[in-house]
Amino acid sequence: MVSIASWCKLTEIIRSFPVLDLKSESKKDLNSLFWCEAPGSFVNEVNYYIQSKHLGIKFNWVASTLNPYHEQVDLIKIALDSSNMCISMNKPVDMITEDGGINCIGSPKIQEELYFQLILHQS
Protein backbone atom coordinates (compact mmCIF):
# COMPACT_ATOMS: atom_id res chain seq x y z
CA MET A 1 0.00 0.00 0.00
CA VAL A 2 1.39 3.38 -0.99
CA SER A 3 0.90 6.40 1.26
CA ILE A 4 -0.63 9.26 -0.74
CA ALA A 5 0.82 11.88 1.65
CA SER A 6 4.37 10.56 1.22
CA TRP A 7 3.95 10.33 -2.56
CA CYS A 8 2.70 13.93 -2.70
CA LYS A 9 5.47 15.16 -0.39
CA LEU A 10 8.24 13.75 -2.59
CA THR A 11 6.48 14.86 -5.78
CA GLU A 12 6.42 18.43 -4.46
CA ILE A 13 10.11 18.25 -3.47
CA ILE A 14 11.20 16.84 -6.86
CA ARG A 15 9.23 19.42 -8.82
CA SER A 16 10.11 22.41 -6.61
CA PHE A 17 13.83 21.87 -6.04
CA PRO A 18 16.69 20.67 -8.25
CA VAL A 19 17.19 17.39 -6.35
CA LEU A 20 17.37 15.18 -9.44
CA ASP A 21 19.74 16.10 -12.26
CA LEU A 22 18.43 13.84 -15.02
CA LYS A 23 18.64 16.18 -17.99
CA SER A 24 22.32 15.61 -18.79
CA GLU A 25 22.78 13.53 -21.94
CA SER A 26 25.47 11.51 -20.18
CA LYS A 27 23.09 10.55 -17.34
CA LYS A 28 22.13 6.89 -17.83
CA ASP A 29 21.43 5.76 -14.25
CA LEU A 30 19.84 7.10 -11.08
CA ASN A 31 21.25 5.38 -8.00
CA SER A 32 19.11 5.96 -4.90
CA LEU A 33 19.13 4.92 -1.28
CA PHE A 34 15.83 5.09 0.65
CA TRP A 35 15.92 4.96 4.48
CA CYS A 36 12.73 4.45 6.54
CA GLU A 37 10.96 3.51 3.34
CA ALA A 38 7.98 1.37 4.34
CA PRO A 39 5.48 1.17 2.70
CA GLY A 40 7.40 2.21 -0.43
CA SER A 41 5.90 5.53 -1.49
CA PHE A 42 9.19 7.30 -2.17
CA VAL A 43 10.53 4.45 -4.33
CA ASN A 44 7.27 4.32 -6.26
CA GLU A 45 7.14 8.09 -6.78
CA VAL A 46 10.73 8.31 -8.08
CA ASN A 47 10.10 5.35 -10.37
CA TYR A 48 6.92 7.00 -11.69
CA TYR A 49 8.73 10.32 -12.20
CA ILE A 50 11.55 8.68 -14.15
CA GLN A 51 9.19 6.58 -16.28
CA SER A 52 6.98 9.57 -17.11
CA LYS A 53 9.64 12.27 -17.61
CA HIS A 54 13.00 10.60 -18.29
CA LEU A 55 12.63 7.42 -20.31
CA GLY A 56 15.97 5.74 -20.81
CA ILE A 57 17.23 6.40 -17.27
CA LYS A 58 17.85 3.15 -15.37
CA PHE A 59 16.57 3.37 -11.78
CA ASN A 60 18.79 1.46 -9.33
CA TRP A 61 17.65 1.58 -5.74
CA VAL A 62 18.10 0.09 -2.28
CA ALA A 63 15.60 0.59 0.55
CA SER A 64 15.65 -0.07 4.27
CA THR A 65 13.21 0.35 7.13
CA LEU A 66 12.81 -0.72 10.73
CA ASN A 67 11.09 -3.99 11.50
CA PRO A 68 7.74 -3.19 13.18
CA TYR A 69 7.87 -6.51 15.03
CA HIS A 70 11.02 -5.48 16.91
CA GLU A 71 10.06 -2.07 18.30
CA GLN A 72 11.37 -2.87 21.77
CA VAL A 73 14.93 -2.18 20.61
CA ASP A 74 16.67 1.14 21.25
CA LEU A 75 15.89 3.01 18.01
CA ILE A 76 18.50 5.73 18.63
CA LYS A 77 21.19 3.10 19.13
CA ILE A 78 20.16 1.35 15.90
CA ALA A 79 20.05 4.59 13.92
CA LEU A 80 23.55 5.59 15.04
CA ASP A 81 25.09 2.13 14.61
CA SER A 82 27.22 2.35 11.47
CA SER A 83 26.92 -1.41 10.87
CA ASN A 84 23.29 -0.74 9.90
CA MET A 85 24.48 1.58 7.15
CA CYS A 86 26.60 -0.94 5.28
CA ILE A 87 24.25 -1.18 2.31
CA SER A 88 26.33 -0.62 -0.77
CA MET A 89 25.31 -0.31 -4.37
CA ASN A 90 28.94 -0.42 -5.50
CA LYS A 91 28.12 2.80 -7.34
CA PRO A 92 27.98 6.46 -6.34
CA VAL A 93 24.58 7.31 -4.86
CA ASP A 94 22.77 10.21 -6.55
CA MET A 95 19.95 10.59 -4.05
CA ILE A 96 19.27 9.56 -0.44
CA THR A 97 15.82 10.00 1.11
CA GLU A 98 14.47 9.45 4.59
CA ASP A 99 10.98 10.11 5.85
CA GLY A 100 11.12 10.79 9.57
CA GLY A 101 8.51 9.97 12.14
CA ILE A 102 7.72 10.33 15.82
CA ASN A 103 5.84 7.86 17.97
CA CYS A 104 2.62 9.68 18.84
CA ILE A 105 0.40 6.64 19.43
CA GLY A 106 -0.08 7.62 23.08
CA SER A 107 -0.86 11.27 22.23
CA PRO A 108 -3.02 11.38 19.09
CA LYS A 109 -4.68 14.68 20.06
CA ILE A 110 -1.36 16.55 19.99
CA GLN A 111 0.41 14.73 17.15
CA GLU A 112 0.77 17.91 15.07
CA GLU A 113 2.46 19.62 18.02
CA LEU A 114 4.79 16.64 18.48
CA TYR A 115 5.66 16.60 14.77
CA PHE A 116 6.15 20.36 14.44
CA GLN A 117 9.93 20.42 15.06
CA LEU A 118 10.47 17.51 12.65
CA ILE A 119 8.39 19.15 9.91
CA LEU A 120 10.14 22.47 10.51
CA HIS A 121 13.58 20.91 9.90
CA GLN A 122 12.79 18.69 6.92
CA SER A 123 14.29 19.70 3.64
Condensed to tens digits (0 to 9), the pLDDT of residues 88-118 reads 567 788 888 876 667 777 888 887 888 777 7
Per-residue model confidence (pLDDT) at position 71: 59
Strands ordered across the beta sheet of 29-35: 58-63, 29-35, 95-98
- Asked if residue 52 lies in contact with residue 14, where contact means CB atoms within 8 angstroms, the answer is no
What does the pLDDT look like over 20-59, one tens digit per residue?
777 777 778 888 888 777 778 889 999 998 888 888 889 9
**What does the domain layout of the chain look like in residue ranges?**
4-121
pLDDT tens sequence across 57-73: 899 988 877 666 665 66
- CA-to-CA distance for 11 and 57, rounded, in angstroms? 18
Are 105 and 116 in contact by the 8 Å Cβ rule? The answer is no
Report how far residue 80's alpha carbon sits from residue 69's, in angstroms, rounded to the nearest whole number: 20
pTM (predicted TM-score) = 0.66
